[in-house]
Amino acid sequence: MSPTSAALQPSFDELGTPLADVTFVVVDLETTGGAADSEITEVGAVKVRGGRVLGEFQTLVRPSGGIPAMIQVLTGITNQMVASAPAASEVLPSFAEFATDAVIVAHNARFDTGFLRRGYEELGLQWPRPTVVDTVALARCALLRDEVPNCKLATLARHFRAATEPNHRALSDARATVDVLHGLLERVGNLGVHTLEDLTEFALQVSPDRRAKRVWAQSAPESAGVYYFVSDTQQPAGRPQREVLYVGKSNNLKRRVRSYFSAAEKRGRIHEMVRVATGVEFVPCATDLEAEVRELRMIESLAPRYNRRSKNQRKLWWLRLTDDAFPRLSVVTQLRDATHFFGPFRTRDDANDAALTLYDAYRLRRCTTRLSPRKPSPSCALGEMGRCVSPCELGEGAEQYPAIVADVAHTWGGDVRPVLRSVRGRMRRLIAQERYEEAGEVSRRLHAYYRTSLRFHRIRSLAACPQLVAAVPSSRGWDIHVIRHGRLAAATSAPSHRARAASEAAVASAETVLAASHGMPAASIEETERIAAWLELPGVRFIETDGDWAWPINVGLPDGALPAEVLGPEPLGQEPLAPEPLAG
């Protein structure tokens, strides 16, 4: 047996439930129609296992209204026939008992299970969410187009030489569906479908090759960690080459990896990835946060071709004040020797929007010319319009300019309120003039600026802390993390009686982390944000802190205070201004 064949040989645990051991209840309903207010008029069901009939269930059902004439002609069920029949409130509990723990089979199952589910809910019965096999879907996957002209029950019954001819009566149709089911099971058995799990996945068009690879999950632990799919190829020189195709994380590796080989996975590019993969490997982690961080680091370092997110964690945009005599705003990707900066932004357009917000709030110069502090130059159009103080003229504007730059640096340092308040007059005029689109655009930029301010100080506050040791209760006892300058330096978990000793051991063995330049984290921004989100979880307890984890007091606002900060207090005796533009 080749290594590849051995790798794909399933164990007994992976085989699933053999079809011969599955109890099927094949059901058919007759109804007053297909509308939402239609009712059941007959229930027919056959219970089978291993090819043997275990029992049958059949009864007419009395609807609350009359049966339409066309339905009477189609089914042969008349109003007189159901007049003395039991109501659905009597029939459905009996059927529920008959079908307990069975797989439901029906031809066009969505129709029948829809009526059953609705009937259960109306009676206060809990719908058991059974496994459902639709013989229509199964036939479409198992039979070729030139074998049957369509997948109607009568057509399939003739094809498989069913002993009962379907005639739009519930029990007859259910008996015919049993024979169709057995014919289909025999057919798909030749295609490698031998278990209930195989059957449901086959009906959902999961390929045999993909189903066969689910044995790769056999060795995965049922715990947190990182998994990565690999492709091993042989090079012409005889040297093997390994490529990591995809990296992911989960709090249950076995369950997550198994899902890639089932109908639960619907992403086209992932189907392709699984097809070309030759194996999957695992990195168990002590905590869920460690798994998140390891995933980010592996994606950043390996750049797997089937991962889309987190591949460019360092590609961010910032605003900085240049070091000119009259500083201006500059959009950059590298901070280098910047003293005053703000961000990060995910795109250049986001950074430009933030710059426009600051230009609205402060009369900073926008020209890119390097101005001389001694030789005046003519003012531009923005200066003539009063939207720039024109420091280029070396007059009063040049004297005011250092204070303007200091104000920008101050708002970046932690007080976002001046920027939010700067548009009050403009916003109120736009709203009064019903220019809601313009007001919405200004509001959108302000919201984005405000969110970036929160993000900026969230990551800087962690970057400033030489060490934080924190823990949170989990199913493992306590998840404990050592965080240094915004980077995860160690992770462990321990039961309550060993938590203190485990935290001390984690600190002793933690990675040495040096502070990064510019007060930024020693990790990627995305990693630091994941850590911040964990630290903000309810129930997190701090074991040790070195430094202060704190935000400036005016970097954020109380819940619901942003609209009032932008629009200002309402004048007495006037109606409140409409808040709708703020949602723009």
List, by residue number, the catalytic residues. Answer: 168
DSSP string, 168-182: S-HHHHHHHHHHHHH
Pairing outcome for strands 132-134 and 103-106:
parallel
Candidates 281, 311, 277, 283; CA nearest to 297 is 311
Q: Which residues pair with 30 in a beta bridge?
A: 42
Alpha-carbon torsion angle 346, 458, 308, 335, nearest 10: 50
Residues 6 or more apart whose CB falls under 8 angstroms from that of 248 comprise 226, 227, 228, 256, 295
Q: Which residues pair with 252 in a beta bridge?
A: none
Mapped onto helix, strand or coil, the DSSP state of residue 208 is helix
Mapped onto helix, strand or coil, the DSSP state of residue 64 is coil
Candidates 567, 523, 224; CA nearest to 424 is 567
Query: Would you say 216 and 228 are in contact if contact means Cβ atoms under 8 Å apart?
Result: no
Query: Would you say 343 and 452 are in contact if contact means Cβ atoms under 8 Å apart?
Result: yes
Burial of 164 (0-12, 13-18, 19+ CB in 10 A): middle
H-helix or E-strand containing 55? Answer: strand 52-60
Helix axes 196-203, 170-189, angle to 10 degrees: 100
Candidates 354, 367, 387; CA nearest to 324 is 367
Q: Tokens 């200002």 sit at which residue?
A: 568
For the chain, helix, strand, coil in percent to 5 are: 45, 20, 40
- Which strands form 40-49's sheet, in the order they lie side by side? 52-60, 40-49, 23-31, 103-106, 132-134
